[in-house]
Structure 1
Amino acid sequence: MDLLADYLAGVRASGAVFCQSVAEPPWAVRFSDPAPLALGAMLRGESWIVGAGTAPVRVQERDVVLVRGLRPFTVADRPTTEPQVVIEGPDLCWATSDGPAAAGPDLVLGPRTYGFSADGSDLFVTAEYPLHGDVSERLLEALPEVAVIPREPEFAPLLDLLAVEIDSEEPGQQVILDRLLDLLLVRALRSWFAQPEAEPPPGYRALADPRIGRALRLMHQRPGHPWTVATLGAEAGMSRAVFARRFAELVGQPPLRYLTEWRMALAADMLRAPGATVASVARKVGYADGFAFSTAFKRVRDVPPSNLVRADG
């Protein structure tokens, strides 16, 4: 496992909401109730992302875009075009001229397809990605409100297949679309974090260092192990002092602080699971008893872990 795999391990798409908008300029589609992360691709033409807490952002043909947060946003042919269509969740789409009561049945052009013209010149595909929990939050915090990944040859096969499958209604169609979304999301995140202006999650770029990368992978693979700076340094083939200094330089924080914060992110998600107890979670993230774990958790998160345990657990 690596950091990106860990951040996404619990957030595979399941029943993801896909939508493609087909239109002839001028056009604008408003997403009034977005998920924590939306992924879009401009298959034909170009568009602008307006809103989402940032200045208008241009998306060119075959670009992929990630929109973070729960703020409503608009995709339009120009930044100044007023929304003509509002999409509110998976089952409600309406024209602004008619209002939501009309429910927009005439706007449905086909499976997962909305717009005014089935053969319009511009085609934008979007999918909402449900990300939940503290581990996923670490990933979301590393993204800007809007991240545009310029077209890359590696995206072409995925985008071509997506364009075909999103129009289909065959057995298992949703599973195919969900897995395509998983692939496209991971590829887009990897490309974005490789860009100089990106600020990936702590430790992400340090994976490229053979020794520090090994230590990071061990922390993620075995978070409950009683790691010390000395044992991590030994695994990395470095002295304790040299390892601690190099780790802090590459990751931005000391190794045990990084380990503690990662353990607490994992623990927060575990505590919300049905049947979880403070004691059982404590053992999984490397604490001998619930008291020591509770003390560490409150120090890092400012709330006791018992606050996260479900009442029906």
Structure 2
Amino acid sequence: MDVLSDVIAIMRTGRPRSARVEWRAPWGQRFPASPGSAAFQVVLQGSGWLLPPGSPPVMLSAGDVVFFPYGHGYAMADSPGTPVAEPECDPAEDAELFASASIGGQGPATVLLCGGYRLDPSRAHPLLRDLPEMIHLPAGPGLHPEVRAAVDLLGAEIHHPRLGADTIVSSLLDTLLLYILRAWFTAEHGHCEVSGWSAALADAEISTALDAMHRDPAHPWTVAELGSRAGLSRAAFARRFATLVGQPPLAYLTWWRLASGARLLKETDAPLSEIAAQVGYGSEFAFANAFKREYGMAPGRYRRDGCPAPAA
């Protein structure tokens, strides 16, 4: 898998949720903070106002997408002056895989597609730590065509569910998340002063090395071999990798192997020896010792009980 696909696969847990909601003016709704999750709102029809706490209101038009990577709270309304109701429920949080509802008064309609993804903070990838609190992808001719296509398909499937809708909606929600992140990183790559993981993914040599590590974490990588893959000397590669990624190549590789192992522990019944081999450890004992140093508990307990944020 490529780096961005891996990031989502390793962090997302359970099934995503979504709801198609028709809001009729006057309407105003607060969406509470939901730590350990990411949420989105898409304007399918009409317009509305996003009311982020501590920031000016943002007008949203049909086709606009707003994404909240860290589950921060916010409000939305038909106008900035409309009173905002405290939520009796959060359509994105409380819905099953998908739902449809009509809420508000008797005025003009605004149709929103909202949804959320549960994320495991113990496997938080540093790539996502570079994201802003909110990503706004405005609508416009030729802008983000993949996002538009995913939104259109999702909106239609939720509004009129048919055979296979469970699988289709779940897959489209994952697709939408990847398209949103791709659109943001692509936009960031166009900036003159790109930094952090955006810079790492935009750097052809470093992204080549990252891709190699992600596609084959079990390979006995060395800094020299990764540098050769990137077309750089060992020293030049190590310096550039640490500058852009924030840690040395083999330190990142170790983190990635253990995070991949944590996902396999949760999502499969594979024996510890098999997981150890898949993520690059010569024995289950070596993997267990490394895992305990990072996560503060043995792999068996993690598989059984779950885990808080990994040790610093």
Q: TM-score range by the shorter chain?
A: 0.7 to 0.9
Structure with higher Rg: it is 1
- TM-score, normalization: structure 2? 0.76
* 1:45 lines up with 2:47 in the alignment: yes
* 1:309 lines up with 2:303 in the alignment: yes
* 1:124 lines up with 2:108 in the alignment: no
Which sits farther off after the overlay, 232-241 or 78-87?
Answer: 78-87
For residue 255 of structure 2, the aligned residue among 261, 280, 299 is: 261
**Closer/same/farther in 2, CA of residues 275 and 249 from structure 1, 3 Å limit:** same
**Closer/same/farther in 2, CA of residues 31 and 200 from structure 1, 3 Å limit:** farther
* 1:66 lines up with 2:67 in the alignment: yes
1:203-251 per-residue CA deviation (whole Å, 9 max, x = no partner) reads 5532333322221111000111111111212222332222212222332
Measure, in 2, the Cα distance between the counterparts of 1:149 and 1:156. 10
> SS of the residue aligned with 1:249?
helix
> SS of the residue aligned with 1:16?
strand
Instruction: Calculate the aligned-residue CA RMSD, in Å.
Output: 3.6
User: Given residue 172 of structure 2, which amino acid in structure 1 is its aligned partner?
Assistant: L
User: Given residue 143 of structure 1, which amino acid in structure 2 is its aligned partner?
Assistant: L
Larger helix proportion, structure 1 or 2?
2
**Closer/same/farther in 2, CA of residues 117 and 170 from structure 1, 3 Å limit:** farther
**Closer/same/farther in 2, CA of residues 250 and 185 from structure 1, 3 Å limit:** same
Contact residue 48 and residue 58 of structure 1 kept, 8 A: yes
Counterpart of 2:308? none
Measure, in 2, the Cα distance between the counterparts of 1:167 and 1:143. 31
* 1:20 lines up with 2:21 in the alignment: yes
For residue 156 of structure 2, the aligned residue among 149, 154, 164 is: 164
Counterpart of 1:249? 243
**Closer/same/farther in 2, CA of residues 45 and 218 from structure 1, 3 Å limit:** same
Contact residue 20 and residue 159 of structure 2 kept, 8 A: no
**Closer/same/farther in 2, CA of residues 276 and 171 from structure 1, 3 Å limit:** closer
Matches within 5 A, 1:142-291: 142-152=130-140, 153=143, 154=145, 155-196=147-188, 203-273=197-267, 275-291=269-285
Q: How many positions carry a matched residue from both structures?
A: 292
Counterpart of 2:6? 6
> SS of the residue aligned with 1:282?
helix
- Structure 2's unaligned 5+ residue stretches are 306-312
- TM-score, normalization: structure 1? 0.76
Could you tell me the percent identity over the aligned residues? 35
**Closer/same/farther in 2, CA of residues 92 and 179 from structure 1, 3 Å limit:** closer
Counterpart of 1:114? 102
> SS of the residue aligned with 1:18?
strand
Contact residue 41 and residue 114 of structure 2 kept, 8 A: yes
Measure, in 1, the Cα distance between the counterparts of 2:148 and 2:92. 26
Which sits farther off after the overlay, 237-246 or 62-71?
Answer: 62-71
